[in-house]
Amino acid sequence: MKFVYGTAVRTFLCTTLLLGIGAFALAQEPTGQQPAPDNTKVNERDRSKDEPTADQQKDNRSDQDITQQIRKSIVADKSLSTYAHNVKIITQGGQVTLKGPVRSDDEKRTVEAKATEVAGENKVTSELSVKP
Protein backbone atom coordinates (compact mmCIF):
# COMPACT_ATOMS: atom_id res chain seq x y z
CA MET A 1 0.00 0.00 0.00
CA LYS A 2 2.85 2.39 0.87
CA PHE A 3 4.48 1.69 -2.50
CA VAL A 4 1.33 2.58 -4.46
CA TYR A 5 0.74 5.72 -2.37
CA GLY A 6 4.38 6.88 -2.74
CA THR A 7 4.32 6.27 -6.49
CA ALA A 8 1.06 8.16 -6.86
CA VAL A 9 2.43 11.13 -4.88
CA ARG A 10 5.64 11.21 -6.93
CA THR A 11 3.67 11.00 -10.18
CA PHE A 12 1.37 13.79 -9.04
CA LEU A 13 4.31 16.02 -8.02
CA CYS A 14 6.20 15.42 -11.27
CA THR A 15 3.09 16.14 -13.36
CA THR A 16 2.38 19.31 -11.40
CA LEU A 17 5.99 20.43 -11.78
CA LEU A 18 5.98 19.85 -15.55
CA LEU A 19 2.66 21.66 -16.00
CA GLY A 20 3.92 24.55 -13.87
CA ILE A 21 7.10 24.89 -15.93
CA GLY A 22 5.05 24.86 -19.14
CA ALA A 23 2.68 27.53 -17.83
CA PHE A 24 5.61 29.66 -16.66
CA ALA A 25 7.29 29.39 -20.07
CA LEU A 26 4.09 30.47 -21.83
CA ALA A 27 3.68 33.41 -19.47
CA GLN A 28 7.20 34.63 -20.31
CA GLU A 29 6.53 35.00 -24.05
CA PRO A 30 6.19 38.64 -25.12
CA THR A 31 2.65 39.61 -25.95
CA GLY A 32 3.43 42.52 -28.27
CA GLN A 33 5.57 42.35 -31.35
CA GLN A 34 8.60 44.59 -31.00
CA PRO A 35 10.57 45.43 -34.10
CA ALA A 36 14.09 44.12 -34.24
CA PRO A 37 16.76 46.81 -33.90
CA ASP A 38 18.02 47.99 -37.25
CA ASN A 39 21.79 48.42 -37.13
CA THR A 40 22.21 47.89 -40.86
CA LYS A 41 23.77 51.29 -41.62
CA VAL A 42 26.18 51.11 -38.70
CA ASN A 43 27.17 47.56 -39.59
CA GLU A 44 27.76 48.53 -43.23
CA ARG A 45 29.97 51.43 -42.13
CA ASP A 46 32.05 49.18 -39.88
CA ARG A 47 32.57 46.59 -42.64
CA SER A 48 34.73 49.01 -44.56
CA LYS A 49 38.43 48.17 -44.29
CA ASP A 50 39.15 51.90 -43.88
CA GLU A 51 37.06 52.17 -40.71
CA PRO A 52 38.85 51.30 -37.46
CA THR A 53 37.10 48.76 -35.26
CA ALA A 54 37.83 47.69 -31.71
CA ASP A 55 39.41 44.40 -32.77
CA GLN A 56 42.04 46.31 -34.76
CA GLN A 57 43.52 47.94 -31.67
CA LYS A 58 47.00 46.59 -31.08
CA ASP A 59 48.18 45.08 -27.82
CA ASN A 60 50.91 47.67 -27.31
CA ARG A 61 50.99 49.21 -23.87
CA SER A 62 50.76 52.87 -24.86
CA ASP A 63 47.56 52.42 -26.92
CA GLN A 64 46.00 50.33 -24.16
CA ASP A 65 46.89 52.97 -21.56
CA ILE A 66 45.37 55.77 -23.64
CA THR A 67 42.15 53.81 -24.14
CA GLN A 68 42.00 52.91 -20.45
CA GLN A 69 42.55 56.50 -19.29
CA ILE A 70 39.86 57.83 -21.64
CA ARG A 71 37.40 55.13 -20.56
CA LYS A 72 38.03 55.84 -16.86
CA SER A 73 37.55 59.56 -17.42
CA ILE A 74 34.25 59.04 -19.26
CA VAL A 75 32.84 56.50 -16.81
CA ALA A 76 33.82 58.67 -13.81
CA ASP A 77 31.62 61.48 -15.16
CA LYS A 78 28.23 60.52 -13.71
CA SER A 79 26.50 63.36 -15.58
CA LEU A 80 26.96 61.41 -18.84
CA SER A 81 24.34 58.91 -20.05
CA THR A 82 24.88 55.18 -20.34
CA TYR A 83 25.18 55.72 -24.09
CA ALA A 84 28.17 58.03 -23.55
CA HIS A 85 29.71 55.62 -21.02
CA ASN A 86 29.59 52.89 -23.67
CA VAL A 87 31.12 54.65 -26.68
CA LYS A 88 33.76 52.68 -28.55
CA ILE A 89 37.29 53.95 -28.00
CA ILE A 90 39.80 52.65 -30.53
CA THR A 91 43.46 53.68 -30.24
CA GLN A 92 45.95 52.87 -32.98
CA GLY A 93 49.44 54.35 -32.84
CA GLY A 94 48.29 57.08 -30.46
CA GLN A 95 45.43 58.13 -32.77
CA VAL A 96 42.02 57.74 -31.05
CA THR A 97 38.72 57.08 -32.82
CA LEU A 98 35.45 57.51 -30.93
CA LYS A 99 32.34 55.73 -32.23
CA GLY A 100 28.80 55.24 -31.07
CA PRO A 101 25.72 57.17 -30.01
CA VAL A 102 25.44 59.79 -27.28
CA ARG A 103 22.32 61.56 -26.02
CA SER A 104 23.15 65.19 -26.85
CA ASP A 105 25.59 67.56 -28.49
CA ASP A 106 26.84 68.51 -25.00
CA GLU A 107 27.66 64.86 -24.27
CA LYS A 108 29.40 64.57 -27.61
CA ARG A 109 31.59 67.60 -26.85
CA THR A 110 32.31 66.32 -23.33
CA VAL A 111 33.42 62.87 -24.52
CA GLU A 112 35.55 64.43 -27.27
CA ALA A 113 37.14 66.82 -24.76
CA LYS A 114 37.97 63.99 -22.35
CA ALA A 115 39.59 62.00 -25.16
CA THR A 116 41.56 65.04 -26.37
CA GLU A 117 42.74 65.74 -22.83
CA VAL A 118 44.29 62.26 -22.63
CA ALA A 119 45.44 61.68 -26.23
CA GLY A 120 46.40 65.22 -27.16
CA GLU A 121 45.32 67.85 -29.64
CA ASN A 122 44.67 66.58 -33.21
CA LYS A 123 44.85 62.95 -32.03
CA VAL A 124 41.09 62.31 -31.77
CA THR A 125 38.73 61.43 -34.61
CA SER A 126 35.09 61.62 -33.57
CA GLU A 127 32.48 59.47 -35.26
CA LEU A 128 29.98 59.99 -32.44
CA SER A 129 26.34 60.43 -33.36
CA VAL A 130 23.57 62.09 -31.35
CA LYS A 131 20.59 59.82 -30.61
CA PRO A 132 18.15 61.65 -28.31
CATH number for the domain that contains residue 59: 3.30.1340
On the question of pLDDT at 32 being above 90, the answer is no
Asked if the structure places residue 4 within a domain, the reply is no
The answer to pTM > 0.75 is no
Asked if the structure places residue 83 within a domain, the reply is yes
List pLDDT tens digits, range 33-43: 666 655 566 55
List the helix and strand counts (H, then E) for the chain. Answer: 5, 3
pLDDT at residue 84 in the model: 94
Kindly state the DSSP code that residue 55 receives in the 8-state scheme. Answer: G
Task: Write the single-letter amino acid at 132.
Answer: P
Give the chain's length: 132
Count how many domains the chain has.
1
Structural domain harbouring 81:
51-130
How far is residue 101's CA from residue 130's CA, in Å, rounded to a whole number? 6
Asked if the structure places residue 88 within a domain, the reply is yes
Asked if the structure places residue 39 within a domain, the reply is no
How far is residue 83's CA from residue 13's CA, in Å, rounded to a whole number? 48
